[in-house]
A and B are shown apart, each in its own frame.
Chain A
Amino acid sequence: MRYLLRRLGFYLAALWASATITFLIPRLMPGDPVEAYIAKIQSQGQGVIAPNAVNAIRIQFGLTNDPLWVQYFQYLNNVLHGDLGIALSQFPAKVTQVLGYDLPWTLGLVGTAAILSFSLGTLLGILVAWKRGTWIDTTLTPVLTFFSAIPYFWLALGLIYLLGVTLRWLPTGDGYDTLGDLTKGWNPDFILSVLQHAFLPAFTIVISSMAGWLLNMRSTLITTLSEDYVLMARAKGLTERRVMFAYAARNAILPNITGFGMSLGFVLGGSLLTEIVFNYPGIGYALFSAITLLDYGTIEGVFLILAITMLLANLLAEVAYVVLDPRVRNERG
C-alpha cells in the first residue's frame, strides 16, 4: 500500500512537472510569441492588428502583466479546471474542445497500433530467440532493425506513394471518406471507411515500432535462457515449447512491460508525424496546424494531453507488473 501511494505521488509530481514545463517554456524563450503571432497574421495580409488588440491577444496567450508567480498559479488553476485557453487556429473554439474531438481518433489509431506492435514484436522476439542462429533470426532481426531505423513519416510517405498513388489500393489521407455521403456514427459503411483509412497509418506505426519490442525480447530472453531454472526445466525433459513459453518467456517479458510504458513515448512521437503525413484527424494533425499557425495554446495543450496519456500508460504498466511479478507484490506491498 505504501508503495502504491509512493508511486501515485510520483505520477502527481510528474503531472505537475509537465504543467510547469508548458508554463515555463514560452516565458523562458527569447523572443515574444505574441509579436511572432502578430507578425505572422500581418504577413499573411489578414489585416493590421490595432495596438489595443495586442493586449487582448496577450491575455489570450495567458501573458498578463502580473508577476510571474501570479501568472503561474493562475495557469495551474486553469489547467486544474480543464481550461487550456482558446485555440487561435480555430477561433473561437477552446483548446479542450479541439483536442476533445481529435483525441478519440489518435487513441483509436495509435492505441490499436501500439498494442498490435507490442504483441507481434514480443512474439517474434520469442521466436527469434528460440531459433537463434537459424535463418529466421539472421534475416528477420536485421530486416526489422532496418525498418526501425526508418523515420515513421518517411515510411508513411513511401507507403502512400506505392499503395496509394501508384497502385491506388488504399486511400492516402483523412480518417474516413470525406467526399462520399457518409453519416458519421455506428453504421457499417462509416466503420468500414474508417478501418480502410486507418489501415495504412496503423501499418506504418506497427512496422516501424515492432523491431524495438523484438530486439528487447530477444536479448532478455537469451539472457533468461542461461538461468539455472531453465536448465532444470530442460533436464526434467519438458518439451522445448513448454520451456520456452512457460519458463523462459514468462520471466523475460517483465522488462518489456516496463519498457512498454516508456517506449510508448517514442511510438506516440512517431505516430504524430504519421498522422500529419496521412492528414489523419487526430492530435498530431492538430499539432501540425497549430505549429504552422503559431497557435501556442494548442501546442501546449497537445503536450499536456500526451503527457497525461503517457503517465496513465506507465501507471497501467506498473499495475500489470505488480500483477505479473509476485516478487514485487511481496517485497513492497
Chain B
Amino acid sequence: MRQDVQFSLPDDASEASGSIDAVQQAIQHAPQRAQVLLAGEIVPAAESQAQDLQWRRFSSVFLSNPRVLTGLYIVGFFILIGLFGPFLTHQDPNALSSDMFRAPSPAHWLGTTQRGEDIFSQIAYGARVSLLMSFAAAIGATLIAVVAGLAAGYFGGWIDEVISFLINIFLVLPGMPLAIVIASFAVKGPVTIVLVLLFTSWPWGARVLRAQTLSIRQREFVTSARVIGERPWQVILVEILPNEIALVASSFVSTFVHATLTAVALEFLGLGDMMVASWGTVLHWAQVDSALMANGWWQFVPAGLCVAILCAGLTFINFGIDEIANPALRSERKLRKSKKGIA
C-alpha cells in the first residue's frame, strides 16, 4: 500500500504543477523513487523528501503571491480579534448606559447605539460569535461535501444517482430564500443559523469533488490500488482524497465566505437571537433604530466593513489555492519566463 502512494506522487507532481522547475525536480527525483520501491527500507527518507518538495512547491506558489499574503494577514487579524477582542474592552456589549447615540470618541471608540450600548465591544464580542458560526458551518458543510462527493464519484451506480440527484436539486433551489424559510420557523439562535447554513451550502463543494473523484478514479494508481485489494475506504481516503486537498480547501474557504454573508443577512432580517451580540445583530439593531436616517453612520459602518474585509481576505486566499490546483492561473511572471525560454 505504501509503495502505491509512492507511485502516485511523481504522477501527481508532474501533473498538478505546470511550472517547469517543479517538473524538472520531479524528474530528478524519479530514479531515487525507483530505487526506493526496490528497497523498502529507504521509504521514510524518500517520503520526507517528497513532502519537502511538495511543501516548497506549495510555499513558493502560495506565500509569494501578494494577494494571498494580504488575505492571510486579514484572516489572522480577525482570528486574533475573535480570540482576544473581548479583553480589549471592559464594557459589556449588552450593558445600557446614559451615553445614547454618541459618535465615535475616546470613551466609545466606535460610538454608541440609541440604547447606549458600546459598539466597539459589540463588534469585538460579535467577532467571536460570527467567526465561530461561519467556521462551524464551513467545517460541517465541507465534511458533508467530501463524504457525498467522494462516495458519489467513487462508487458510481445507484449511490451516484441518488447523491447527484440531491446535489442537483439543492443547486437549483434558491439557497438564501430556503435559509430564510427554515430560520423563520425554527427556534432563533446561533445554533439554528449554523444548521441552516449547513443544510444549504454543502452542494457546491460536493459537485466539484464528485467531478474530480470521477476523473481521478480513472488514473492508474487508483486502479492498481484496487487490484492490490485495498478496501474501498482505504482507496478513497489514502489514494484519492490527498489528491483533492486543494479542492477541499478551496471549497472550505468559499463556504466560509458564503456562510458569513448568509449569517449576517439572516441576522439582519431579525432571524437570529437578537440578544447575542454579533455582526449581523449590530446591523439589525441599526436598521430597527433607523440610525441611517439620523446620520448615525457609526452604527452601520464598522460591522459591515468587518464582514467585507474578512470575506475579501478569504477570497484572496482562495486565489492562491486555485493557483496551486490550476497551474495555468499562475502569475504572468513565470509564464513570461517560460515563453522566453521557448522563443
- A residues touching B (Cβ–Cβ < 8 Å)? 10-11, 13-14, 17-18, 21-22, 25-26, 29-31, 33, 132-133, 142, 145-146, 148-154, 157-158, 160-161, 165, 219, 222-223, 225-226, 261-262, 265-266, 268-270, 272-273, 276-277, 287-288, 291-292, 294, 296, 299-300, 302-303, 306-307, 309-311, 314
Contacts and interface: CB of A to CB of B under 8 A. Distances in A.
Given A148-B315, A154-B283, A157-B304, A265 B176 contact: yes
Contacts of B336: 133
B332 A150 contact: no
Contact of A219 (B182, B268, B307, B329): B329
B308 A149 contact: yes
Given A142-B316, A149-B311, A157-B304, A299 B184 contact: yes
Contacts of B315: 145, 148-149
Interface of B: 67, 165, 168-169, 171-182, 184-187, 257, 261-262, 264-265, 268-271, 283, 287, 292-293, 295, 297, 300-301, 304, 307-312, 314-316, 322, 326, 328-329, 331-333, 336
B174 A273 contact: no
A146 B71 CA distance: 11
A179 B87 CA distance: 50
Contacts of B180: 272, 287, 291, 299, 303
Contact of B173 (A265, A287, A292): A265
Contact of A150 (B169, B185, B293, B304): B304
The CB with the most chain B CB atoms within 10 A, among A22, A132, A161, A261, is that of A161
A306 to B, nearest CB: 5
A269 B175 contact: yes
Query: Interface SS of chain B: helix, strand, loop or mixed?
Result: helix
B177 A296 contact: no
A296 B286 CA distance: 26
B282 to A, nearest CB: 11
A20 to B, nearest CB: 10
A118 B315 CA distance: 20
Contacts of B185: 25-26, 29, 31, 33, 296
A269 B176 contact: yes
A133 B172 contact: no
Given A165-B295, A265-B174, A303-B178, A273 B269 contact: yes
B270 A292 contact: yes
Contacts of A154: 264, 283, 300, 304, 307-308
Nearest to B258: A266
**A-B pairs, 9 with minimum CB distance:** A269-B176, A133-B332, A149-B311, A154-B304, A149-B312, A150-B308, A265-B174, A29-B185, A146-B312
B62 to A, nearest CB: 17
16 contacts: A10-B165, A14-B173, A25-B185, A26-B185, A33-B185, A133-B331, A145-B312, A149-B308, A154-B300, A158-B304, A219-B326, A222-B329, A269-B174, A269-B262, A303-B174, A303-B181
B171 to A, nearest CB: 5
Nearest to B286: A157
B67 A272 contact: no
Nearest to B207: A262
B257 A149 contact: yes
A219 B67 CA distance: 16
The CB with the most chain B CB atoms within 10 A, among A261, A265, A276, A292, is that of A265
A85 B169 CA distance: 25
